[in-house]
Amino acid sequence: MKGGSAIGYHAQAQLNRLNRGKALQTHLSYPLQTWNFRDDLAIVFLPGEVVVDYSIRLKREFDATRLWVNAYCNDVPCYIPSRRILAEGGYEGEGAMIYYDRPTRFTPAVEDMIVSTVHELLPESFLAA
């Protein structure tokens, strides 16, 4: 990025898209996956650089002794911030998006969207008592 900053380069790349008649990205493919081995073990595969808040929340809402949470699975679209990280701001919540070529930060609803999908995919037998 000779003579410019990453932020400036990112802004120019987004403007170039618009100038070519392309729309800015408004959605992100997120191939979340779960496996369960009867009622013995459930594994959650989260794409991206997921912050620890997801593991903490999932282990609170499901039986932590039978839940294994993984990140960097199936795809690495960018940092996946939680509501807390988005409120704090900074690199993981906003700044890193420029290095992943994302036009903006996530909505705070992203955490609930991901967790609710895990709830849809895992059997109820894994819910915390």
Summarize pLDDT for 74-125 with one digit per residue, the tens. Answer: 999 999 999 999 999 888 888 888 888 888 889 999 999 999 999 999 999 9
Residue 121, number of CB atoms within 10 A of its CB: 14
Percentage above 70 pLDDT, the chain: 97
Alpha carbon distance 71, 80 (integer Å): 10
Q: Give this prediction's pTM.
A: 0.86
For the chain, give every domain's residue range.
Answer: 27-124
How much is the pLDDT for 122? 97
How much is the pLDDT for 1? 46
Residue 53, token pair as written in the block: 């808040």
| b/e 17-40 (16+ beta carbons within 10 angstroms → b) | eeeeeeeeeeeeebebebebeeee
pLDDT in tens, 22-37: 988 888 899 999 999 9
Percent of the chain as helix, strand, coil, to the nearest 5: 40, 15, 45
How much is the pLDDT for 14? 86
DSSP code of 67? E
